[in-house]
């Protein structure tokens, strides 16, 4: 895997990244809330990541286990990797074992997976986000906002040594992400946060907002936005 990039490609990536970042920062300052921008690099070459890394970017998001593992092994170890893809219980161990600088797994949607991550991790603590299916669409992963398992995971995470429950994540419906005004998926995630925060005395962070709707997500209180296309351009199809 080559980490070599051209000056032209780096200039393009930096321009895109800085455009998104300044939009993020402006929206964040309007709500007086800190927001981290995660550059979603799935299906993009490691050289693209290196080009932004050399510009100072550290938070990157990946969707496919083997791709993340291969990139993490080549790229600098102070990258903060976010796994944001569909998670299978029997694949948790591959991530915890092979990605030493795994910052967060954002797609935990069962107690079993939370346990698997905790039990197989030997290095640094891994942050987890509970993925919530706020739109209730069949094809979307995630726990339903009223599922009892959510509180079971919160309870479990309190005493778990190798995971830290950092927050809640949603993708939301495509239609809602392309509509004006408050997004009901984001409202649902925010309401779940309020409920859990007051019940458990925690301050969960939210991860919501992608290329098409990250400004709206910031208005509705997110702490992390996950932006791919607006930074890296259109993705090739997954083979
Ligand atoms: C691909 C992906 C993103 C980034 O989507 P863009 O529309 O390209 O910004 C964000 N979150 C998740 C979970 C993704 O799978």
- What is the SS3 assignment for 147? coil
Domains of the chain, with CATH numbers?
7-232 (3.20.20.10)
pLDDT, position 36: 98
Give yes or no for residue 89 CB within 6 A of ligand 1: no
pLDDT, position 179: 87
Give yes or no for residue 211 CB within 6 A of ligand 1: yes
Give yes or no for residue 227 CB within 6 A of ligand 1: yes
Q: Which protein residue's CA is at the shortest distance from atom 7 of ligand 1? A: 211
Could you tell me which residues are beta bridge partners of residue 39?
Answer: 60, 227
Could you tell me which residues are beta bridge partners of residue 81?
Answer: 60, 102
Q: Which protein residue's CA is at the shortest distance from atom 6 of ligand 1? A: 228
Q: How many angstroms is it from 235 CA to the middle of ligand 1?
A: 10
pLDDT, position 177: 86
Residue 217 has pLDDT above 90, yes or no: yes
Of 217, 230, 207, 209, the closest CA to residue 17 belongs to 230
Give yes or no for residue 226 CB within 6 A of ligand 1: yes
Predicted model pTM:
0.97
Cα→Cα distances 218→24, 61, 150, 174, 221, Å: 8, 18, 24, 17, 5
Q: How many angstroms is it from 227 CA to the middle of ligand 1?
A: 6
Q: How many angstroms is it from 174 CA to the middle of ligand 1?
A: 11
- Please provide the average confidence, as pLDDT, over all residues in the chain: 97
- Assign 3-state DSSP to the chain and report helix, strand, coil percentages, each to 5: 45, 20, 40
Mutation pick for ligand 1 pocket among 40, 65, 222 (CB with most ligand atoms within 8 Å): 40
Nearest atom in ligand 1 to the alpha carbon of residue 40 is 4
Residue 57 has pLDDT above 90, yes or no: yes
Q: How many angstroms is it from 199 CA to the middle of ligand 1?
A: 31
Question: In angstroms, how far is the first alpha carbon of the chain from the final one?
Answer: 17
**What is the C-alpha R_g of the chain?**
17
Q: Residue 8: CA atoms inside 13 Å, Cβ hemisphere, count?
A: 0
Q: How many angstroms is it from 151 CA to the middle of ligand 1?
A: 27
Nearest atom in ligand 1 to the alpha carbon of residue 227 is 9
Give yes or no for residue 46 CB within 6 A of ligand 1: no
Give yes or no for residue 229 CB within 6 A of ligand 1: yes
pLDDT in tens, 124-182: 999 999 999 999 999 999 999 999 999 999 999 999 999 999 999 999 999 988 888 99
pLDDT, position 52: 98
pLDDT, position 12: 98
Cα angle 145, 148, 153 (rounded to 5 degrees) comes to 95
Beta strands in 35-162 (DSSP E): 36-40, 59-62, 80-83, 102-108, 126-131
């Amino acid at each position: 895997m080559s980490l070599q990039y051209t000056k032209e490609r780096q200039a393009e990536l930096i321009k895109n990244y800085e455009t998104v970042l300044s939009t993020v920062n402006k929206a964040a300052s309007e709500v007086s809330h800190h927001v981290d921008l995660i550059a979603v690099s799935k299906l993009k070459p490691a050289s693209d990541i290196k080009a932004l890394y050399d510009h100072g970017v550290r938070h990157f998001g990946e969707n496919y286990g083997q791709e993340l593992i291969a990139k993490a092994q080549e790229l600098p170890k102070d990258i903060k990797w976010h796994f944001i893809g569909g998670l299978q219980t029997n694949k948790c161990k591959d991530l915890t074992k092979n990605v030493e600088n795994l910052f967060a797994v954002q797609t935990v949607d069962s107690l079993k997976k939370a346990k698997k991550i905790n039990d197989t991790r030997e290095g640094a603590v891994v942050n987890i986000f509970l993925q919530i299916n706020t739109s209730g669409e069949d094809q979307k992963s995630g726990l339903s906002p009223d599922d009892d398992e959510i509180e079971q995971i919160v309870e479990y995470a309190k005493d778990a040594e190798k995971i830290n429950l950092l927050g809640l994540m949603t993708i939301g419906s495509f239609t809602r992400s392309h509509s004006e005004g408050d997004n009901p998926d984001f409202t649902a995630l925010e309401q779940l946060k309020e409920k859990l925060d007051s019940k458990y005395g925690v301050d969960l962070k939210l991860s919501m907002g992608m290329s098409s709707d990250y400004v709206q997500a910031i208005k509705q209180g997110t702490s992390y936005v996950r932006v791919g296309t607006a930074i890296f351009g259109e993705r090739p199809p997954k083979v």
